[in-house]
């Protein structure tokens, strides 16, 4: 290989890496449009679930009457996203690969003791959120374990069973 070919390869690598980071930096969801968050569903009269809401989606949630936001993400705070709203927020850091009883109980207590309706969310609204909703169904709505697991596995909620089989064990 000659020097020109090596330089061409380096240049192509540079272009590819630059293009990749430009795409990663682009968010396809606007942050100021009043629309529901991704994976938004009503679980009960007082409990909703979703993926991570943007600032605009927080305003939409407030306009729908949501009073409390419970964030299950480990490394993301909703404090900036709820600015300009009257939403009450709680942050219970959960790891989808290591969900523990203590955290789930804390979230269920928050659901039961804060102004409702309540929105529970994580990044995608599927694994951590699905676990909390399943436990909510078991404890407060007297569902069977089989019913709660069947709902958790519904395609529309996006449970990542391949990555987090621990959730249903």
CATH of the domain at 149: 3.90.190.10
User: Quick check: is 32 in a domain?
Assistant: no
For the chain, the domain total comes to 1
Would you place residue 32 in the very low, low, confident or very high pLDDT band (cuts 50, 70, 90)? low
User: Quick check: is 62 in a domain?
Assistant: yes
Would you place residue 49 in the very low, low, confident or very high pLDDT band (cuts 50, 70, 90)? very high
Would you place residue 74 in the very low, low, confident or very high pLDDT band (cuts 50, 70, 90)? very high
User: Quick check: is 35 in a domain?
Assistant: no
Q: What are phi and psi of 90, to 5 degrees?
A: -135, 145
pLDDT in tens, 83-102: 999 999 999 999 999 999 99
User: Quick check: is 56 in a domain?
Assistant: yes
User: Quick check: is 47 in a domain?
Assistant: yes
Task: State the residue range of the domain holding 56.
Answer: 41-168
Query: For position 11, what pLDDT does the model report?
Result: 56
Q: Rounded to whole angstroms, how far apart are CA atoms 18 and 32?
A: 27
Q: Rounded to whole angstroms, how far apart are CA atoms 143 and 83?
A: 37
């Amino acid at each position: 290989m000659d020097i020109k070919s090596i330089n061409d390869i380096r240049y192509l690598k540079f272009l590819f890496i630059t293009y990749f980071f430009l795409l990663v930096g682009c968010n396809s969801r606007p942050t100021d449009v009043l629309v529901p968050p991704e994976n938004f569903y009503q679980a009960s009269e007082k409990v909703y679930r979703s993926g991570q809401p943007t600032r605009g989606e927080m305003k939409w949630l407030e306009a729908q009457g949501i009073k409390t936001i419970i964030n299950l993400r480990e490394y993301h705070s909703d404090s900036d996203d709820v600015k300009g709203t009257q939403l009450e927020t709680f942050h219970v850091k959960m790891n989808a690969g290591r969900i523990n009883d203590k955290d789930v109980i804390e979230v269920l207590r928050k659901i039961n003791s804060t102004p409702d309706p309540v929105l529970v969310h994580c990044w995608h609204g599927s694994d951590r959120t699905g676990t909390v909703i399943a436990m909510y169904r078991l404890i407060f709505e007297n569902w069977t374990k089989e019913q709660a697991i069947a709902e958790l596995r519904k395609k529309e909620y996006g449970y990542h069973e391949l990555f987090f089989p621990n959730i249903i064990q």
